[in-house]
Amino acid sequence: MSDPAPITGNGPGNGPALAFSPDQAEAWDALAALLHGVGVDIEDAITAPPGEGPGAVAAVIGKAGSGKTMLLAALTRALAEAGVDIVSGDWEGRRRRDGRSAAILAPTNKAAAVLRARGVPATTIHRILYSPVYDPDYERVAEWLSGQGERPESGVLSELQLDRAMAAFRTHGSIPAALAAAGLRGSDFITGWKRRESPLDIGLVDESSMLDERQFADLREIFPALVLFGDPAQLPPVQGSGGMVFDSLPEADRHILHRVHRQEADNPILDLAHALADPDLDFAGFEDMVHEAASRDPRVIVAQRVESDLMARSPVLVWRNVTRIRLIQAFRTAHGAPEGALLPGEPLICDGIELPLKHRKKRLDLEARGLIKGAQVVYLGPGKREGFSRLHVFGAPEPQVSAASIVKIESEGEEEPFMPYAARMGAVFLHGAAVTIHKAQGSQWERVQVYAPDIMVAARMGRIEAGQPLWKRLAYVAITRAERELRWVVRPALARPSAPLGIGDLGAAPGILDLTGGME
């Protein structure tokens, strides 16, 4: 594969020309025209008053390795160079009268964290729908940090704390991170959350294959210009219509990236993913390809058993719920977990919030701290109050929290799960040592275990979903969750753990944020 030719004149602002492939260059030009309609010229790096007319939606569609993230990152840089305010969802200062604004969004905390690790300042959709309300004293500190106000002369922070906050802000560009460096927690300066009242200009949405119609409608209310980045080979939302929101867009507004870029071309995991597009490939042939890849590259492993040591932080990916429950029970048995309690270090998955409508503020608090459906969590221990659990939320700005919890541990053959922790209302959790491939969408882990017998069952059933054999969609989504190592597990066996469960790898925290207020 030859190097892509540099595309001059198709790049952000006055920065260096990007090595766009032809399909990326076509998408870039189309998006530049779309953004021009909302007053942003990314070619000349300037902003102007927005044009009149209806909002616009476009999609950039491509499989893993086709350069969607590269294009998203370049577009983010171009917007910033044009003077567009990138809204993080953590704090929003006074809007400039003629300024333009944008947000980079992902459906889950983990998906947003993947983007942030690649230098893209992403936040979750929820954090942009609901904005934090700051205590007035700390609002003044935030305005000073962001360059919108004078340094506070006296007040809630000492001179040393202010200096620490500014140093952290210059490093991270985050108001909450800066205030944390001054010794504060979110409950010190955030008094609540409110539904966004004023729209923004531009929304860039990653992992848009996960969006349902309701989320899409919410985003269209907020953003006159909306760009969706998605993978057509992913699984559609479970509760959706069977398709993805970008499927309904006119063909002219869907920009497809076909090419796999050179930096991804020697990745055996992506080679396997793209091989699934062959209509003549059956499951047996695909497994032969996995074995062949494993024979020549250590990044692919044909495993005879599930590694329980990996399950605590990287769940086994399965298709069937019965498989998920069996693996979870085997994991807990291998670690000697008591039937009626959790061990510190056990992984959980947030399954939603159970609160009556009158407790809307508490729901917003929980969701804003990262406890949204699909969030990956590690149990740290019981809280000080009955029904509360101390938790580490992966990808959340403040990962360690204490929340009213309803923890459900399912058992094979039992209609009702047992609940080691059951508050009357709060965040609901399922065990996270194994998860369905549907729930894994939007997440990535360095090492991923895929339970191949489940994929084989799907292949034997012959089901078709969105025009493709279901087993191929399942296999594609599962193996593309792996960043560095794919373990293709071929037998229903579990290795004994080499060490007890623990939480030492999660890092120490100065305190645990109590989501009903205060610190534990």
| pLDDT for residue 491 | 95
Residue 306, pLDDT > 80, answer yes
Report phi then psi at 136, rounded to 5.
Answer: -55, -40
- Average pLDDT estimate for 130-151: 86
Q: State mean pLDDT over 355-384.
A: 79
pLDDT bin (cut points 50, 70, 90) of residue 16 is: very low
**C-alpha to C-alpha distance for 410 and 348, rounded to whole angstroms:** 12
The pLDDT score that the predictor gives to residue 8 is 34
- Whole-number average pLDDT of the chain: 84
The whole-number pLDDT of residue 3 equals 33
Q: What average pLDDT does the segment 454-459 reach?
A: 96
The tokens for 20 are 């766009």
> Which range in 3-12, 51-60, 233-242, 276-285 is most confidently predicted, on average pLDDT?
276-285
Q: CB of 76 within 8 A of CB of 173?
A: no
Note the pLDDT of residue 473: 93
Binned at pLDDT 50, 70 and 90, residue 482 comes out as very high
Single out the residue of 203, 180, 182 nearest to residue 56, CA to CA: 203
Higher pLDDT, 422 or 500: 500
State the pLDDT at residue 484. Answer: 93
Task: Indicate the SS3 state at residue 92.
Answer: coil
Q: Is the pLDDT at 14 greater than 60, yes or no?
A: no
Top pLDDT among 396 and 304 is at: 304
Give tens-digit pLDDT for 89-116. 777 767 666 778 899 998 887 788 788 8
* Residue 194, pLDDT score: 75
End-to-end CA distance of the chain: 57
pLDDT at 103: 93
CA–CA dist 312, 61 (Å, integer): 33
Query: What is the pLDDT, as a whole number, of residue 337?
Result: 93
Least confident of 129-143, 181-195, 205-219, 377-391: 181-195
Model confidence at 239, pLDDT cuts 50, 70, 90, reads low
Give long-range contacts, CB 8 A cutoff, 24+ apart: 26-34. 26/255, 27/60, 27/71, 27/255, 27/257, 28/71, 28/74, 28/75, 30/58, 30/255, 31/58, 31/60, 31/75, 31/227, 31/255, 34/58, 34/225, 34/227
pTM of the model: 0.78
- The predicted pLDDT at position 358 comes to 62
375 pLDDT tier (thresholds 50, 70, 90): confident
245-250: average pLDDT:
90
Q: Higher confidence at residue 31 or residue 266?
A: 31
Q: Is the pLDDT of residue 35 over 80?
A: yes
307 or 418: which leads in pLDDT: 307
Cβ atoms of 181 and 206 within 8 Å: the answer is: no
Pairing of strands 426-431, 445-451: unpaired
pLDDT bin (cut points 50, 70, 90) of residue 169 is: confident
Q: In angstroms, rounded to a whole number, what is the distance separating the alpha carbons of residues 352 and 508?
A: 27
The neighbour count for residue 371, using CB atoms within 10 Å, is 26
What's the mean pLDDT in 301-328? 95
Predicted local confidence at residue 261, as pLDDT: 61
Run of H or E residues at 114:
helix 109-117
Between residues 163 and 174, which one has the greater pLDDT?
163
Provide the pLDDT for residue 284: 97
Residue 5 scores a pLDDT above 50: no
Question: What share of the chain has pLDDT > 90, as a percent?
Answer: 42
Confidence of residue 6 (pLDDT cuts 50, 70, 90): very low
Yes or no: say if 202 and 223 are a contact pair by the CB < 8 Å rule.
yes
Whether the per-residue pLDDT at 355 is higher than 70: the answer is: yes
Average confidence (pLDDT) over 247-266: 79
